[in-house]
Amino acid sequence: MSETLLEVKDLKINFKTYAGIVQAVRGVNFDLKQGETLAIVGESGSGKSVTSNALMKLIPQPPGIYDQGQILFEGRDLIPLTEKEMTKIRGNEIAMIFQDPMTALNPTMKVGKQIMEVILKHNKKATRDSAKKRAIELLDEVGIPFPEKRFKQYPHEFSGGMRQRVVIAIALAAEPKLLIADEPTTALDVTIQAQIIELMKKIQKNSNTSIIFITHDLGVVANIADRVAVMYAGQIVEYGSVNEIFYNPRHPYTWGLLGSMPDLENSEDELLRTIPGSPPDLTNPPKGDAFAPRNEFAMQIDYEEEPPMFQVSETHFAKTWLLHPDAPQVPIPEAVQKRIDGYLAKDGVKHV
Amino acid sequence: MSEKILEVKNLTQQFGSIKAVDGISFDVYKGETLGLVGESGCGKSTTGRSIIRLYDMTDGEIRFKGEDINGKKSKRDLKEFNREMQMIFQDPYASLNPRMTAGEIIEEGFEIHGLYKNRKERKEKIGSLLEVVGLNREHANRYAHEFSGGQRQRIGIARALSLNPSFIIADEPISALDVSIQAQVVNLLKELQRKHGLTYLFIAHDLSMVKYISDRIAVMRRGKILELGTSEEIYQNPIHPYTKSLLSAIPLPDPISESTRVRIPYEHEDTDAEATMHEVFPGHFVYGTDQQIAKWYK
Ligand SMILES: Nc1ncnc2c1ncn2[C@@H]1O[C@H](COP(=O)(O)OP(=O)(O)OP(=O)(O)O)[C@@H](O)[C@H]1O
Ligand SMILES: Nc1ncnc2c1ncn2[C@@H]1O[C@H](COP(=O)(O)OP(=O)(O)OP(=O)(O)O)[C@@H](O)[C@H]1O
Ligand SMILES: [Mg+2]
Ligand SMILES: [Mg+2]
């Protein structure tokens, strides 16, 4: 069994805004082993980016507040660390690929130089020549054509997806222990996406890097993740191995997500399935289960008391009262089950 | 098929030594959705930006409703063009002013075009637009920088819809959204199209969504359109090897099959002969040399 690299315990993060206090992250718990990939999926605005920025201690204060909890990286809590101590960890032991590539790039510095700087900073033995060579190699590895020419250009001369690949090259240049990737491939076409994922897997295998991968693309999750956390309204509502989440989802929000995807067989005339209603206002989170108003299976208790994490298997947990022994048995909705059965039949598998 | 709303002829856009768009031609018919997919950096956004006149094109001609978009225009016609054609921008961070509230961002267009002059009516319209894109009314008073990536993208969508356009260039409008909100936005776009006959140029990377929403699809690579046809044709009967490679890389929400996925890599072949567009089936175009087409088509 490999060692635990990261443990997040009861993390709560608020933002003070004009409209009130936004409770962006409301008690998040998870851990990550060395060499493991955790995918975080979930509603837009549910706190995925805030959670991952917090791991780098990049929440601006104010307006942000680390209200509660611990972030144990190799057993050491990052929350009380000073900015100076964090600078040593950032980019070095923990590297991040941001959702917005422009925040990570210096618009006035040539792309190649930005990559070289990271290499020189993290590898004391590197010379300017070897760093340049490695930077061009990295640009090539992330699929940028004519890397020598591109090396000398500024970020604004790159397309959206190419900028993102530069950010990926910079993060990989540091060979971190933990790589946090916030929607790294969202802006990329599927072939380059596949190429980048293969590259990340290769680097992970070579240096036993742990990866936190945030994405909306459930196909990518199925491809890259060992484990999956599903977030809703500032909390993790379901947590399990990739097979458990895709073939035996237990939380009604996860059902909603899996049901909303078009598959390639979808007919164009039918509308896609959606989750009715809208997410709660996090300045004033509802009592009970935050998902209740959108859950067609909600019970009285959902409006009164927040559900605990119920255990489904040794590795699989879901935060819904539907798993309480006294709750009525609610099967996975037919449309979702049909799709799962379809995949399993194609894979030649009976039960998972 | 119905009338052409947009005609793009030989569009070329050069930045320094880079030909971002290299002489592409296509038409968009009124009321249809044309999907534009392809390699990152192949010129999709540049194409969209040229159509909406954000760039002066290097060469070529673009006609919207029969009129040359770069021809001489009266102030009034220009304003009308700017209302009728809207773009949802790829980068929700760069395209919204972080110091403005969501409400102000939407209101800006009303101001310019003198719409909903009554304050109450205006406020009501802003609230309903926010709801239409899955945000809530209270969000009108929040600043752009206080929103998550996907929330910002939806403000951009609300802004584009606010002026009742007839043609929308949607540049990666949904990739920053979770799948349930993606479905909501796509349903909304479809419904608007059915009710008001809107036309879309839909740029995206998510090929299952592109297939679902598009009537026809154009596949681009390195500034050129390599294949163009109905969604059905492109998915069932792809001919260009690049299209085949793209289709083979679509990840599915099925971990077991993903663990054994085999991609078809694409190897570009340089040729001496000149490549041209070939109509291999009525309405199905493939770019290549005569020899290549004969080989691929077997
Ligand atoms: N600087 C800020 N000030 C106020 N509220 C904020 C700030 N940053 C984030 N939030 C709020 O915190 C919540 C979580 O945001 P976060 O960016 O983590 O969402 P996300 O899950 O990454 O969403 P997406 O999928 O759209 O990127 C959102 O409701 C957002 O509006
Ligand atoms: N303002 C600019 N100055 C210089 N080069 C540019 C500019 N805008 C785009 N380019 C270049 O033009 C080419 C096409 O870029 P474009 O943004 O159109 O690609 P795209 O197909 O939209 O890619 P993506 O899927 O990554 O968004 C790229 O090589 C890019 O580097
Ligand atoms: Mg985010
Ligand atoms: Mg683009």
In the predicted structure, residue A10 carries a pLDDT above the cut 80: yes
Determine the Cα–Cα distance for residues A30 and A239; give it in Å rounded to an integer. Answer: 9
Which residues belong to CATH 3.40.50.300 in chain A? 231-347
Q: Which tokens go with A317?
A: 């947990």
Which residue among B41, B181, B256 places its CB closest to the CB of A44?
A: B181
Contact A188, B205 (CB under 8 A): yes
Determine the Cα–Cα distance for residues B246 and B7; give it in Å rounded to an integer. Answer: 26
A46 lines ligand 1 (CB under 6 A): yes
Q: Which tokens go with A29?
A: 């718990």
Query: Which ligand is nearest the CA of B92, by number?
Result: 1
- A207: pLDDT confidence band, cut at 50, 70 and 90? confident
At position A240, the amino acid (one-letter code) is G
Query: Which ligand is nearest the CA of A144, by number?
Result: 2
In the predicted structure, residue A101 carries a pLDDT above the cut 80: no
Determine the Cα–Cα distance for residues A243 and A352; give it in Å rounded to an integer. Answer: 8
> How high is the pLDDT of residue A31?
96
> How high is the pLDDT of residue A266?
58
Q: What is the mean pLDDT of chain B?
A: 92
pLDDT (mean) for A211-239:
97
How many residues belong to chain B? 298
Q: Which tokens go with A346?
A: 């194609």
Q: Which tokens go with A230?
A: 């599903």
In the predicted structure, residue B19 carries a pLDDT above the cut 70: yes
- A91: pLDDT confidence band, cut at 50, 70 and 90? confident
B74 lines ligand 2 (CB under 6 A): no
- A350: pLDDT confidence band, cut at 50, 70 and 90? low
Which residue among B136, B205, B208 places its CB closest to the CB of A189?
A: B205
> How high is the pLDDT of residue A264?
65
pLDDT (mean) for B108-120:
91
> How high is the pLDDT of residue B214?
95
> How high is the pLDDT of residue A83?
93
The interface predicted TM-score (ipTM) is 0.88
- A269: pLDDT confidence band, cut at 50, 70 and 90? low
Q: What is the mean pLDDT of chain A?
A: 92
Report the candidate in B138, B170, B140 with the shortest Cα–Cα distance to residue B155: B140
> How high is the pLDDT of residue B175?
82
At position A66, the amino acid (one-letter code) is Y
Determine the Cα–Cα distance for residues A171 and A164; give it in Å rounded to an integer. Answer: 11
In the predicted structure, residue A224 carries a pLDDT above the cut 90: yes
Minimal-distance CA residue of chain A relative to B140: A19
Checking B290-295 for CB contacts under 8 A at 24+ apart, the result is B293/B239
- Taking the CA atoms of residue B165, residue B166, residue B167 and residue B168 in that order, the dihedral angle to the nearest 10 degrees is 40
Comparing A45-49, A279-283, B60-64, the range with the smallest average pLDDT is A279-283
Sign of CA dihedral B204, A233, A211, A332: negative
Determine the Cα–Cα distance for residues B137 and B130; give it in Å rounded to an integer. Answer: 6
Cis peptide before A63 (omega within 30 of 0): yes
The string of pLDDT tens digits covering residues B184-222 is 888 889 988 998 899 999 999 888 889 999 999 999 999
Q: Is-above-0.90 flag for pTM?
A: yes
Half-sphere exposure of B238 (CA within 13 A, CB side): 16
Q: Which of residues 151-170 of A touch B (CB under 8 A)?
A: 157-162, 165
B45 lines ligand 1 (CB under 6 A): no
Please state the domain extents for chain B.
Answer: 4-297
The string of pLDDT tens digits covering residues A301-324 is 999 999 999 999 999 999 999 999
Please give the helix or strand (H or E) that residue A148 lies within, else none.
helix A147-151
Q: Which tokens go with B28?
A: 């968009």
Determine the Cα–Cα distance for residues B86 and A132; give it in Å rounded to an integer. Answer: 42
Report in angstroms the alpha-carbon separations of B63 from A283, B68, B81, B82: 48, 4, 12, 14
- B149: pLDDT confidence band, cut at 50, 70 and 90? confident
A102 against B16, higher pLDDT: B16
A82 against A347, higher pLDDT: A82
Report in angstroms the alpha-carbon separations of A145 from A148, A158, A184, A194, A248: 9, 11, 19, 16, 42
Q: Which of residues 39-78 of A touch B (CB under 8 A)?
A: 41-46, 49
- The SS3 assignment for A316 reads coil
Minimal-distance CA residue of chain A relative to B246: A191
The label of the residue with tokens 């990559």 reads: A115
Give contacts of A40 with chain B, Cβ < 8 Å.
Answer: none
Distance B93 CA to ligand 1 centre (A): 13
Sign of CA dihedral B78, B82, B85, B87: positive
Strand order in the sheet with B85-88: B85-88, B167-171, B199-203, B33-38, B216-221, B224-230, B284-288, B276-281
Determine the Cα–Cα distance for residues B91 and A181; give it in Å rounded to an integer. Answer: 18
Indicate yes or no: CB of A278 within 8 angstroms of CB of B136: yes
Report the candidate in B220, B177, B184 with the shortest Cα–Cα distance to residue B35: B220
B42 lines ligand 2 (CB under 6 A): yes
**What is the count of residue pairs from A and B with beta carbons less than 8 Å apart?**
194
> How high is the pLDDT of residue B275?
93
In the predicted structure, residue A351 carries a pLDDT above the cut 70: no
In the predicted structure, residue B57 carries a pLDDT above the cut 90: yes
> How high is the pLDDT of residue A267?
61
- Taking the CA atoms of residue A239, residue A240, residue A242 and residue A248 in that order, the dihedral angle to the nearest 10 degrees is -100
Give contacts of A45 with chain B, Cβ < 8 Å.
Answer: 147-148, 150-151
DSSP state of A235: E
Determine the Cα–Cα distance for residues A328 and A330; give it in Å rounded to an integer. Answer: 6
Contact residues for A232 (Cβ-Cβ < 8 A; gap 6+): A42, A43, A46, A253, A279, A290, A291
In the predicted structure, residue A343 carries a pLDDT above the cut 80: yes
- What percentage of chain A carries pLDDT values higher than 90? 71
CATH fold, domain B4-297, is: Rossmann fold (3.40.50)
Please give the helix or strand (H or E) that residue B23 lies within, else none.
strand B18-29
- B178: pLDDT confidence band, cut at 50, 70 and 90? confident
Indicate yes or no: CB of B187 within 8 angstroms of CB of A275: no
At position A284, the amino acid (one-letter code) is N
CATH code of the domain made up of A231-347: 3.40.50.300
pLDDT (mean) for B138-158:
88
Determine the Cα–Cα distance for residues A202 and A206; give it in Å rounded to an integer. Answer: 6
Comparing A75-89, B21-35, B54-68, B81-95, the range with the smallest average pLDDT is B81-95
A91 against A68, higher pLDDT: A68
The string of pLDDT tens digits covering residues A37-76 is 999 999 989 999 999 999 999 999 999 999 999 999 999 9
Contact B26, B225 (CB under 8 A): yes
Q: Which tokens go with A32?
A: 């990550």
> How high is the pLDDT of residue B206?
85
The label of the residue with tokens 């206002």 reads: A281
Cis peptide before A62 (omega within 30 of 0): yes
Please give the helix or strand (H or E) that residue B113 lies within, else none.
helix B102-113
pLDDT (mean) for A92-118:
89
Please give the helix or strand (H or E) that residue A28 lies within, else none.
strand A20-33
Residue nearest atom 24 in ligand 2 by C-alpha distance: B40
